[in-house]
Copies of this chain bind each other. A is one copy, B any other.
Amino acid sequence: MPAEPQLARWLQRVEARLESELPRGDQSPERLHQAMRHAVLGGGKRLRPMLVYAAGCATGADETLLDAPAAAVELVHAYSLVHDDLPAMDDDDLRRGRPTVHVAFDEATAILAGDALQALAFAALAREDRAGAGLRVAWLLALADAAGARGMCGGQALDMDGTGATLPLPELERLHALKTGALIRAAVRLGALAGDADAATLARLDEFAAALGLAFQIRDDILDIEASSEQLGKTAGKDQAQAKSTYPALLGRDGAAAALAAQVERMDAALAGLPGDLAPLRALATMAVERSH
């Protein structure tokens, strides 16, 4: 069965759930609520929510159980972009082809909107009463650990510390394993937990997700030097301008392409022989590796 119709349906599901989780823009404090909506509802690939659904599909989860974790992981991702774009961090004016939150609103509102989106992610999981309390706790722990100092925030801290310096490859990999990898792995884990996957399956899917996260980042680095800002919907060439370590800078263009191919092989190996419908996971992996923006 081709995965595309499923992905389109899941996209509709998560957009509807995000819309219903977010506070209304016409209720006080309006400016904060509008900033939260601007941050989340501005499009985006929704890779992480799709991974929740795809991992749930691979492990036989009830699809209605997947909306809350799909929305929650995207809320965390969206908040991290708002904060990463701030002047004190990456100082970016453009995101998904639109002004970033601190440009469209102001810095204080951007900080608070990010903070409130993080809280909303956890509230969305805790409130999902179609899921048993045990599943909700497992979701909440996976997401909180992935978002924190030993996950996404830690990776962004390493990224800030490493700006202007040339990181050796192992340190660059660790940076990305935390900064983007932790949340991608959490997305897959949330879906597989909803499918009540056993420890062996969780480990195989986690290996897949770790490779996908790295592949995604290598592709990002390649796109940053090859694509235009218009294609990316964000400022191109930022890595070089900010003297950040990247795969092409460390390995050359061909070396970066080879590193990407190695992660694709690692993904294939991780999924080989797993039962369940793996087509959506494979389709997402292909999209992440071949995307042009």
Contacts and interface: CB of A to CB of B under 8 A. Distances in A.
**A: interface residue count bin:** 35 or more
Interface string A1-29: 00000000000000000000001000011
B137 A126 contact: yes
A122 B140 CA distance: 7
A153 B88 contact: no
B137 A119 contact: no
Contact of A148 (B120, B147, B148, B151): B120
A158 B125 CA distance: 26
B89 A108 contact: yes
Contact of A137 (B83, B133, B157): B133
Given A36-B149, A134-B133, A157-B109, A144 B120 contact: yes
Interface in A20-54: 23, 28-29, 31-33, 36
Contact of A111 (B83, B144, B149): B83
Contacts of A115: 79-80, 83, 114-115, 118, 147, 153
Nearest to A114: B115
Interface of A: 23, 28-29, 31-33, 36, 79-80, 83, 86, 88-89, 106-109, 111-112, 114-116, 118-120, 122-123, 125-127, 132-134, 136-137, 140-141, 143-145, 147-151, 153-154, 156-158, 160-161
